Amino acid sequence: MKIGFIGGGVMAEAIMKGILDASLVNSEDLVVSDLNTDRLIYLHKSLNISGVKSNIEVVNKSDIVVLAIKPQNIDQVMKELKGNLITRKSFLSIVAGVSIENLQNGLGVDSIIRVMPNTPAQIKKGMNVWTSSSNVSENVISFSKKILSVLGEELYVHDESLIDMSTALSGSGPAYMFLFMDSLINAGIDIGMSKDMSIKLVKQTLLGSIELAITSEFEPTKLKQMVTSPGGTTEAALKKFEEGEFSKLVAEAVLAAFERAKFLGGKQ
Ligand SMILES: NC(=O)c1ccc[n+]([C@@H]2O[C@H](COP(=O)([O-])OP(=O)(O)OC[C@H]3O[C@@H](n4cnc5c(N)ncnc54)[C@H](OP(=O)(O)O)[C@@H]3O)[C@@H](O)[C@H]2O)c1
């Protein structure tokens, strides 16, 4: 299977690396185009993948074409590709907010896979939620599943609206976690700890809590109750979170991301 990438940014690199590390294909089976020549040189040096300047050349050389550009660049790329004998190709899009219907119309292609990945794919701990148009071949579906599995967890959904919801939860989610980490680190510094010590404590606390949540038989709500004794320190902190309506704020933030994903989709 030959796989082409249009856009060789952070997410494309994570996918390329995952595919090669898992030996799903060899580096000669991959090709990438990017406006940024430095990225092409970098990807050639680090992963031995040949880079080209032409998006059409990538499509011609591939069975599956991964669209890994930003949403603001998709219209231009679709215009450039449409009508260039690409109808028999399959496209796998990770572009946030762009629907299967928009991709089919914009490219003039039937076979579309739409994925919402996230950046922990870089360390093979990603969450990939995906769906497909009705006419993708079994071969392409099973190969796509293999690709997504080597990047972390994959979850196929039949309802495409779950992709925009996933964008708001798992796609943008790592940034929410980093914001929370950053706030905790600064809080540690504010009460008198060195920055290095605060970073160490916060990283290990999050890692341990997440692994505990994954391996435990209990849901996070119960785990929270289990570390909160009446009149204790955790309760004092949680009371402050409640007063500041932390849960409501999180819900509003996720809703804002969801609305934005739907808006970006509607704009195409
Ligand atoms: N990063 C995330 O957390 C995340 C999570 C889930 C999904 N996504 C989705 O993944 C996609 C890629 O994200 P990313 O973070 O990897 O983006 P990125 O690092 O900005 O990579 C996109 C690359 O595409 C290049 N490009 C722009 N226009 C092009 C064109 N017409 N032809 C060929 N290449 C072109 C860009 O070059 P220039 O820099 O020169 O413009 C850039 O190198 C986005 O659609 C995003 O919605 C990202």
Q: What's 177's domain CATH number?
A: 1.10.3730.10
Query: Which range, of 19-23, 218-222, 248-252, 258-262, averages the lowest pLDDT?
Result: 258-262
Backbone angles phi, psi at 55, to 5 degrees: -65, -35
Cβ of 8 closer than 6 Å to ligand 1, yes or no, is yes
- For residue 133, the tally of other CB atoms under 10 A from its CB is 18
CB under 8 Å, gap of 24 or more: what pairs does 260-265 form? Answer: 260/97, 260/168, 261/96, 261/97, 261/164, 261/167, 261/168, 261/171, 262/97, 262/164, 263/97, 264/71, 264/96, 264/97, 264/98, 265/97, 265/98, 265/99, 265/102, 265/164
Q: What is the DSSP code (8-state) at residue 51?
A: E
Pure H helices in the chain: 10-21, 37-47, 55-60, 74-81, 100-107, 138-149, 161-166, 173-190, 195-215, 220-226, 233-243, 246-267
**Nearest atom, ligand 1, residue 70 CA:** 45
Domain span at 150: 3-161
- Residue range 147-184, pLDDT digits in tens: 999 999 999 999 999 999 999 999 999 999 999 999 99
Cβ of 265 closer than 6 Å to ligand 1, yes or no, is no
Residue ending a domain, choose from 132, 161, 190: 161
**Same structural domain for residues 20 and 153?**
yes
For ligand 1, atom 5: residue with the closest CA: 118
- Residue range 92-114, pLDDT digits in tens: 999 998 999 999 999 999 999 99
**Same structural domain for residues 83 and 140?**
yes
**Same structural domain for residues 137 and 193?**
no
**Same structural domain for residues 40 and 122?**
yes
The answer to whether residue 166 is domain-embedded is: no
Q: What pLDDT, on a 0 to 100 scale, did the predictor assign at position 267?
A: 55
**CATH, residue 136:** 3.40.50.720
**Same structural domain for residues 114 and 189?**
no
Mutation pick for ligand 1 pocket among 69, 82, 94, 127 (CB with most ligand atoms within 8 Å):
69
Three-state secondary-structure class, residue 2: coil
Helix 10-21 with 37-47: angle, nearest 10 deg? 20
Residue among 126, 89, 85 nearest 110 (CA): 89
Cβ of 79 closer than 6 Å to ligand 1, yes or no, is no
Residue ending a domain, choose from 161, 182, 202: 161
The first and second tokens of residue 137, run together, are 């071949």
**Same structural domain for residues 9 and 96?**
yes
Distance 154 CA to ligand 1 centre (A): 21
Query: Which range, of 13-17, 80-84, 247-251, averages the lowest pLDDT?
Result: 80-84
**Same structural domain for residues 40 and 146?**
yes
Pure H helices in 4-125: 10-21, 37-47, 55-60, 74-81, 100-107
Cβ of 96 closer than 6 Å to ligand 1, yes or no, is yes
**Same structural domain for residues 129 and 186?**
no
The answer to whether residue 47 is domain-embedded is: yes
Q: What pLDDT, on a 0 to 100 scale, did the predictor assign at position 84?
A: 77
Would the CA dihedral through 66, 69, 71, 77 be positive or negative?
negative
Residue ending a domain, choose from 141, 161, 181: 161
Residue 88 has pLDDT above 90, yes or no: no
Cβ of 120 closer than 6 Å to ligand 1, yes or no, is no
Q: Would you place residue 83 in the very low, low, confident or very high pLDDT band (cuts 50, 70, 90)?
A: confident
Give how far Cα 85 sits from Cα of 56, 63, 77, 109, 122, Å.
9, 13, 15, 10, 33
Distance 136 CA to ligand 1 centre (A): 24
**Nearest atom, ligand 1, residue 13 CA:** 16
The answer to whether residue 223 is domain-embedded is: yes
The answer to whether residue 197 is domain-embedded is: yes
**Same structural domain for residues 19 and 73?**
yes
- How far apart CA 68 and CA 34 sit, in angstroms, is 10
Q: What pLDDT, on a 0 to 100 scale, did the predictor assign at position 262?
A: 87
Q: What pLDDT, on a 0 to 100 scale, did the predictor assign at position 183?
A: 98
Cβ of 103 closer than 6 Å to ligand 1, yes or no, is no
Distance 3 CA to ligand 1 centre (A): 17
Tell me if 111 sits within 8 A of 133, measured CB to CB: yes
For ligand 1, atom 18: residue with the closest CA: 9
**Same structural domain for residues 18 and 41?**
yes
For residue 117, how far is the Cα from the chain centroid?
2
Tell me if 164 sits within 8 A of 258, measured CB to CB: yes
For ligand 1, atom 20: residue with the closest CA: 9
Residue 190 has pLDDT above 90, yes or no: yes
Give how far Cα 66 sits from Cα of 2, 62, 114, 115, Å.
11, 10, 10, 10
Q: What pLDDT, on a 0 to 100 scale, did the predictor assign at position 30?
A: 98
Cβ of 55 closer than 6 Å to ligand 1, yes or no, is yes
Distance 69 CA to ligand 1 centre (A): 4
Q: Count of domains in the chain?
A: 2
Q: What is the DSSP code (8-state) at residue 168?
A: I
Q: pLDDT averaged over the chain?
A: 95
What is the pTM assigned to this prediction? 0.93
Cβ of 172 closer than 6 Å to ligand 1, yes or no, is no
The answer to whether residue 123 is domain-embedded is: yes
- Residue range 228-243, pLDDT digits in tens: 999 999 999 999 999 9
For ligand 1, atom 42: residue with the closest CA: 9
Q: Would you place residue 199 in the very low, low, confident or very high pLDDT band (cuts 50, 70, 90)?
A: very high
The answer to whether residue 167 is domain-embedded is: no
**Same structural domain for residues 80 and 115?**
yes
